[in-house]
Amino acid sequence: MKEHIVRMLGKQSRSFWELLSRWEYRLKDFVDVVNEMHSSGELVVRNGKLALSKQTLASLPGVLGERTCKTCKGRGVEVRNTSLLRKFRALLKERPLTTAKYFQGNMDAESVVARVYLMDARDGIAGKRITLVGDDDYLSLALALTGLPSRVVVLEIDERIGGFIEQCSRKYGLEIEYVPYNVEQPLPKELIKSGDMFSTEPLETLSGFLTFFARGAATLRNGGVGYVGLTNLECSLEKWKRIQESILGMGFVITDIKRRFSFYPMEYPEDKEYVDQVLKALRFRVNGKTRRIWYFSHLFRVEAVEEVKPEPAPEEATKIDLFDEGDDFTYPN
């Protein structure tokens, strides 16, 4: 993976966080590679930034350079200055802080609203029954603000989040149903095959991801669709393979993977422990503070093409592993 660092740096110098924001593999692998390159002299620190040594520059390959769309930030969906984004941001001012108890992490408001626009563009949300398996990003509020879905159901274990959603629903006349729910428990019978769409940002252990996904899948009627977040920073490509095989086995096809769609500012108090772990794993010193967003989640769109076979089945209880072997300093969220 060393060649990826070489390609991302080229003749430039970048801060540690800027370089990490361009990385496409596990966070653990990134730390291992930059540590190795620094120890071998291939990577140097100059004025607080990382750069390639003269010896490494001598064998630098040619590259065309990055051409990501600045307007949509590479999402393919433009949401700046929309009334929906302004209304949604206003609602979030009094939301509860994230908590490590439930491995939560908030994406920024633009990412949430972008998902609403994408869901509408791809599938149409008007008249749709949408289920959210976990909602610490408050997608339910953004969906309800449009007035388009016929039903929005939130399955959420954190009663602080559920209470805030209910508070907003009463205050602003939003149609949202909150159901206190732990995904390790059987799905409420009345929600099985009750919806048209689901969305979830699951735990990123293998059992965690598949349980969240299966609970969402079990809410779909025939031909339903789902939107699911998954990172590279916490999931190896081997785990991606196992996840994709399981998704196909449950009766779905993956139609879209929107890379770097969801942005996580990592600016909340509970994020500090995560960042501190990264810094402690380095063998050289970097500036620990940054406003650059370096944590991204990719957005999967899946569509049922045959009878959905959730695993675990909706009537079954299950147990989620909070850590997978080899996932150093990763907190699934």
* 111 shares a domain with 19: no
* Number of domains making up the chain: 2
Position 230 in a domain? yes
Question: What does each of the 333 residues of the chain score in pLDDT, given as a tens digit?
Answer: 899 999 899 889 999 999 999 999 999 999 999 999 999 999 999 989 999 999 888 888 776 667 788 888 888 888 887 999 999 999 999 888 777 676 778 899 999 999 999 999 999 999 999 999 999 999 999 999 999 999 999 999 999 999 999 999 999 999 999 999 999 999 999 999 999 999 999 999 999 999 999 999 999 998 899 999 999 998 999 999 999 999 999 999 999 999 999 999 988 777 888 888 899 999 999 988 888 999 999 999 999 999 999 999 999 999 998 887 766 545 433
* 103 shares a domain with 192: yes
Contact criterion met (CB below 8 Å) for 85 and 110:
yes
* pLDDT value of position 102: 65
* 36 shares a domain with 136: no
Q: DSSP code of 312? A: S
Position 21 in a domain? yes
Position 328 in a domain? no
* 127 shares a domain with 53: no
Position 325 in a domain? no
* 26 shares a domain with 133: no
Position 66 in a domain? no
Q: Are strands 151-156 and 220-230 parallel, antiparallel or unpaired?
A: unpaired
* 237 shares a domain with 164: yes
Position 150 in a domain? yes
The whole-angstrom distance between residue 126's C-alpha and the CA centroid of its chain comes to 25
Position 312 in a domain? no
> pTM surpassing 0.85?
yes
* pLDDT value of position 326: 62
User: Cis peptide before 269, with omega less than 30 degrees from 0?
Assistant: no
- Expressed as residue numbers, the domain containing 24 is 2-57
Taking the C-alpha atoms of residue 204 and residue 198, their distance in angstroms, rounded to an integer, is 18
* 89 shares a domain with 48: no
Taking the C-alpha atoms of residue 30 and residue 300, their distance in angstroms, rounded to an integer, is 23
User: Cis peptide before 312, with omega less than 30 degrees from 0?
Assistant: yes
Position 73 in a domain? no
* 6 shares a domain with 148: no
